[in-house]
Amino acid sequence: MKLMEHGYGAKEFVTSKEGILDLLAPGTYYLKEVDSLYRRFYGKKGDDGSITNGH
C-alpha cells in the first residue's frame, strides 16, 4: 500500500497488476495510470473479477 500511495501523485505512474488488483473488491474503481501531463486514467474491477478501462 505504501508503494501505491507514493506513486499516486507522480507523473508516468502505472498500476502494477501483479497481486494488487486481487485485493480489490468487485466494482471498485482504481487509479490505473498517470501520464506525463498528470492526466489520470481509472479502471474498474468488474463483478466477475475482470478489469475494465473505466471509459
Inter-CA distances, 19 with 23, 35, 36, 38, Å: 7, 22, 25, 25
- The answer to whether residue 23 scores a pLDDT higher than 70 is yes
And the C-alpha cell for 55? 471509459
Q: Which has the closest alpha carbon to 51: 34, 29, 35?
A: 29
Say what the pTM is: 0.61
pLDDT at position 50 over 70: no
Number of domains within the chain: 1
- Could you list the residue range(s) of the whole structural domain that residue 18 is in? 2-52
Listed in sequence order, the DSSP H helices in 1-55 are 2-7
For the cut 60, the answer to whether the pLDDT of residue 54 exceeds it is no
Q: What are phi and psi of 44, to 5 degrees?
A: -135, 130
